[in-house]
Amino acid sequence: MEEKITAIKEWLGTGSINIFGLPMSGKDTQGIKLAELLDAKFISSGMIIRAMEKKTNNKYTKQGELIPTNVFYEWVLPYLERRDLFEYPLVLSSIGRWKGEEDQVISVAKGAGHEIKAAIVLNISEADVEQRFKAAKILADRGNRDDDKNLDIFRVRIKEFRDKTLPVIQHYKTLGLLIEVNGDQSREGVLSEIVEKLYHKASQSQS
């Protein structure tokens, strides 16, 4: 594992990896773990948006919908250009979820020295993420999030992913950047598969 992590680091440099998936697919969980392995900085669009909604008293995502693109550009995109992150690789959690935003994300990331080297999608069925949502409600481990109030709102989030984010993922696939990972396994299994496939991509780029 250590040898593979070293190879991934050398390939990644100060570049970035963008992780996508349905809500409750484990994007932030895996992103944080991956960032720790790669000595990278983790940036989550969801965390930024929730913090900004609280700060500005706006509730764009209250009903499960994605924030408007102009708000995404204002609130989230500047994080890619932060001077305190210049020397680090980045692991991103769903930065640019709405079709059309990905080109701007790719451009800004590259200009800031964080070229997107890979996009990962955690594949899991809609039925399975609904089960995860129901389990999380019983455990009450998601905090008091407006976009997690009930199953109807959660289903809106699923529809937003299907309608708006799947085309983004397809674009990354067209660019040859997409890595597909089975998200329906243990957390350790997901992370192991991510590392294996990143290592494979790093090896291919150096051959």
Q: Cα–Cα–Cα angle for 19, 190, 198, nearest 5°?
A: 60
> What pTM does this model have?
0.94
Kindly list the structural domains of the chain, giving each domain's residue range(s) and its CATH number in brackets, ordered by start.
Answer: 2-206 (3.40.50.300)
Amino acid (1-letter code) at residue 121: V
Confidence of residue 149 (pLDDT cuts 50, 70, 90): confident
Please check whether residue 29 is in contact with residue 187, taking contact to mean a CB–CB distance below 8 angstroms.
yes
The length of the chain, given as a count of residues: 207
Confidence of residue 127 (pLDDT cuts 50, 70, 90): very high
Question: How many beta carbons lie within 10 A of that of residue 6, not counting itself?
Answer: 12
Average pLDDT over residues 35-63: 94
To which H or E segment does residue 115 belong?
none
SS3 of residue 145 by DSSP:
coil
Q: Is the pLDDT of residue 205 over 90?
A: no
